[in-house]
Structure 1
Amino acid sequence: MGTTARKMIRSCSQWRLLIAVSIMASAVSGRDLNQTTATDKEMKVQGGISRRPLVTALIVFGDSIVDPGNNNNLPDTRMKANHAPYGKDFTNHVATGRFSNALLPSDIIAQRLNLKPLLQPWLNVEHTPEDLLTGVSFASGATGFDPLTPQLVRVFTMDQELEFFDAYRRQLVSIAGEPEASRIISNAFFFVCAGTDDFANTYFMSPYRAGDYDIPSYVSLLVSGAESFLRNASARGARKMAFTGMPPIGCVPSQRTIGGGTRRRCEARRNYAALMYNKALQELINKLNGEPGFGTLVVYFDIYDIIEELAVHGDRYGFTEMTHGCCGSGLIEVTMLCDTRYMGVCDDVDKHVFFDSYHPTQRAYEIIVDHMFKNYVPLMHL
C-alpha cells in the first residue's frame, strides 16, 4: 500500500486466585495456575516507596490477547492455550491458558496500575473476595465483534462476556454491598481488545463473509458491533474505557505465511483492512465521546504503529526474529498446532517478537504496554 493511501486511512466461575500471590499452594490448585513469584507487598513497595493503586479495578473484555484462561474448559473449541509450550516462562512453567510464554498485556497493565501481579480469568479458577474487588478478565480467545466469528470456533461472544460482567457485579454486591460495588465499577479501568480475529480468521480465512462484504462494508459491520458493545458497557456503569484498534494483521507470522508470497512479506490487503477499521473506530469513539448523556470516556489505543515497528524493525529493540514464531517452525503453529508433544520451541524466547504464529512474546507485550502507558493512559485521567 502506498504512503499516500496509508496516510489517508491511518489516524490509528467461579472463585479464588491470590491478589497478593503467596507461595503457599499445592501444584494442582486453581490458585497455583495463576501465581507469580511477586507478592503484593513487593509489587506495591519498591525502593521503600509505597505505590497506591491508580484505579479500583481492572475489567477486561476481548480475545486471546487478554484471555488468561476463560476458554480452558470450553468443550467444543480448540482455541486454548492450556498446554505446553504456552506458559514456558510462567511460574513453575504452568500453562494457565494464556496465549503467551508467560504474561499477557492485561497482567502487565494490572501491575502498572499497582493493582496486583496477575489479572485472573473469570472462569476456571476459584477467587477470593479480594480478587474480585480488583477485577478480572472476561475475554475469550478467538472471539470478535462479528457474531459469526465466535460461532465458527465455538467460543464466548462479546455479549456473553457482558453477561459474565453482570454476574461479576452481583458477586461484588454480595461481597461489599451495592454502594461499594458501584464505586468500584465507576472508578475501574475498562480495557477492550478485540476485532483482529474477525478479519484474520472470519473474513480472510473462511468462505462465509468475503463473498457478501467488501472490506469497507465488513468494517461497517465490525464498527456496528463495537458501538453496540460500547453502549452496553456504558449502560452497565463503565466510566473510563480503553479501546484498542487492530494491529498490522498482515505482519503476523501466520498471515505472512498465508498471504505474503514466497518471501513472506507483510500482506498489504490485511493491513489495509486494519487501517480502515482503525480510522472508522476512531470516528465512532469521537462521536460517542461528544454525545450528550453517553457518560463514558472512551480512549482509542492505537497499537498498529508499535506492533508494526516490532514486526518490521524489531532489531531496534534487540529482537533477532520478527517473522517467525518461537513455537515449531514459526510459520503457522498456534493453539492446538503449537504443542510440545509434536514439536519443539526456540531456545531464546526473548529474541522473538512472536511466541506462536499469532501472539507476541511477553517481552514484546511489555514494549506494547509501555507504549500504551506513555501515549494513551494519561488521556484517561486516572
Structure 2
Amino acid sequence: MRFSSCLVASVVYLLMEVYVVNGQPLVPAMFIFGDSVVDAGNNNHIKTIVKANFPPYGRDFLNHTPTGRFCNGKLAADFTAENIGFTSYPPAYLSNEARGNNLLIGANFASAASGYYEATAKIYHTIPLSQQLKYFKEYQAKLVKIVGQSNASSIINGSVYLVNSGSSDFVQNYYINPLLYKVYTVKEFSDIVIKSYATFIEELYDLGARRIGVTTLPPLGCLPATITIFGSDINECVKKMNEDAVSFNNKLNDTSLILQNKLSGLNLVVLDIYQPLYDLVTKPSDNGFAEARKACCGTGLLETSILCNKKSVGTCANATEYVFWDGFHPSESANKVISDSLLASGISLVS
C-alpha cells in the first residue's frame, strides 16, 4: 500500500477516536440513495433480474450471507457508516429489518440499475430516484410516529445523506441504447443527467436534507465489463469513456457549487471516487492488489448479477487480491480503500 493510503487510513482512525464520543455516531442517522454501488438489498424485494441475493455474493460479509449487496463483502457506504461511528448499517428500506427502532439510524433507499435519468430504472424495472424520494417521505412519517415531530425533524436535518448515481445512466443505458446515443451526443446526454441531478438535490433539500455527499462517476472505462464490451480487444481502460466520466464530473462539481450557493444552509460535498479507483486500477500493486483487469467472479471479464453465481467457472479463492469483485463493482478490499480516501473530503458533513 502506498504511503498516502497509509496516511489516509491513519487519519481515519484518528478522527474516529477524536470525534466518536461515548460510542455515539457523529450524526443522528445516515440515509443512502442511488444505484448498485450502494444498494443494500432493496432489489431483493422487487420484480427485477438485477439482484445479488445469492452466492457467491456476500461470501465475505457478516455470517458469509448474501444480502443483495453487489459485492463479496462490505460496500464503501458500509465502511463509511463504521467510520462515523455506527455499529450497524442503515437497513434497506424494503427489507423486514426496516421497522421500529431500527429506523432510528436511517435507511438505505438505493436500487441497483437506477440512475439520475428516470428511464434508466424503468428499463430494468428497478426503483428510480423519484420513487426513492417517495419512500423517504414515507420513512419520515414512520419516524414521527416513533420519536415525535420535533425529534424527527432534528434527525432529518442533522443526518448525513449519501448519493451515488449516474454510472448506470451511461454504462447500462446511453452507451448501449440507440434511442439515446443516436439522438444525443454524450455531452447533450450529460447535460440532461446533470439537470436531473440538480432536481433531485433540490427535492431532497426540500425534504429536510442539509448534509449531502454526492459521489462522482468512477472511471467508467476501467470497469472489467466495459473493457470487455467496448475495449476493442485491448486490455486497457477505454479512454473515451473515462473522458466522458471526467467531463460529467466537472459538470457535477460546477452544478453542486451553484446548488450550494442557491440553497440556504445546504452543505453539499462532491466526493471524488474517480481518482481513488483509477489509482487502484492503474497501480494495483502499489495498493496491495494483484489483479485489476479481471474481477474475482467467474472469468472476471463480464459476469455481474445473475451471471455471477455459484456455478460461475473460475471464481477466485481470495477476493482481497482483486480490485473488482464482479464486472462492474469493486471488491470489499477496494471499497475499504475508497471509503477511507473519501473521509478527509467528507469530514465537513459530520463535524
Same fold (TM over 0.5): yes
Question: Contact 1:108/1:117 (CA < 8 Å) preserved in 2?
Answer: no
Number of the residue aligned with 1:173: 144
Q: Deviations over 1:90-128 (max 9, x none)?
A: 122211100000111221111111122323200122335
Q: Deviations over 1:265-302 (max 9, x none)?
A: 100111111111100011101111112x4432111111
Matches within 5 A, 1:1-382: 50-75=22-47, 77-291=48-262, 293-374=263-344, 376-380=345-349, 382=351
Which ranges in structure 2 are unaligned for 5 or more consecutive residues? 1-15
- CA distance in structure 2 between the aligned counterparts of 1:330 and 1:138, rounded to whole angstroms: 28
- CA distance in structure 1 between the aligned counterparts of 2:90 and 2:58, rounded to whole angstroms: 15
Q: CA RMSD in A?
A: 1.7
- CA distance in structure 2 between the aligned counterparts of 1:294 and 1:343, rounded to whole angstroms: 53
Kindly state the Cα deviation for residue 312 of structure 1 after the two structures are TM-superposed: 1.1
SS at match of 2:277: helix
Q: Deviations over 1:252-271 (max 9, x none)?
A: 00011111122221001111
TM-score, normalization by structure 1: 0.85
- CA distance in structure 1 between the aligned counterparts of 2:125 and 2:169, rounded to whole angstroms: 14
- CA distance in structure 2 between the aligned counterparts of 1:252 and 1:234, rounded to whole angstroms: 32
Which amino acid letter does the alignment assign opposite residue 143 of structure 1? S
SS at match of 2:134: helix
- CA distance in structure 1 between the aligned counterparts of 2:312 and 2:334, rounded to whole angstroms: 25
Number of residue pairs aligned between Structure 1 and Structure 2: 335
Number of the residue aligned with 2:8: none
Kindly state the Cα deviation for residue 344 of structure 1 after the two structures are TM-superposed: 4.2
TM-score, normalization by structure 2: 0.92
Q: Deviations over 1:151-210 (max 9, x none)?
A: 111100000000010011011000000000000010000000000011111111222210
- CA distance in structure 2 between the aligned counterparts of 1:124 and 1:274, rounded to whole angstroms: 33
- CA distance in structure 2 between the aligned counterparts of 1:56 and 1:92, rounded to whole angstroms: 27
- CA distance in structure 2 between the aligned counterparts of 1:282 and 1:169, rounded to whole angstroms: 29
Which amino acid letter does the alignment assign opposite residue 194 of structure 1? S
Question: Contact 1:199/1:270 (CA < 8 Å) preserved in 2?
Answer: no
Higher relative contact order (CA 8 A, sep 6+): 2
Moved more, 149-158 or 102-111: 102-111
- CA distance in structure 2 between the aligned counterparts of 1:342 and 1:332, rounded to whole angstroms: 11
Question: Contact 2:26/2:350 (CA < 8 Å) preserved in 1?
Answer: no
SS at match of 2:177: coil
Number of the residue aligned with 1:8: none
- CA distance in structure 1 between the aligned counterparts of 2:198 and 2:30, rounded to whole angstroms: 21
Percent identity of paired positions between Structure 1 and Structure 2: 33
- CA distance in structure 2 between the aligned counterparts of 1:294 and 1:78, rounded to whole angstroms: 41
Question: Contact 1:251/1:266 (CA < 8 Å) preserved in 2?
Answer: yes
Number of the residue aligned with 1:41: none
SS at match of 2:323: strand
Number of the residue aligned with 1:17: none
Question: Contact 1:108/1:118 (CA < 8 Å) preserved in 2?
Answer: no
SS at match of 2:176: coil
Q: Which has the higher helix share?
A: 2
User: Structure 1 pair 161/127, CA: closer, same or farther in 2 (3 Å)?
Assistant: closer
Moved more, 184-193 or 200-209: 200-209
Q: Deviations over 1:326-361 (max 9, x none)?
A: 000000000010011343420111000000010001
- CA distance in structure 2 between the aligned counterparts of 1:154 and 1:359, rounded to whole angstroms: 20
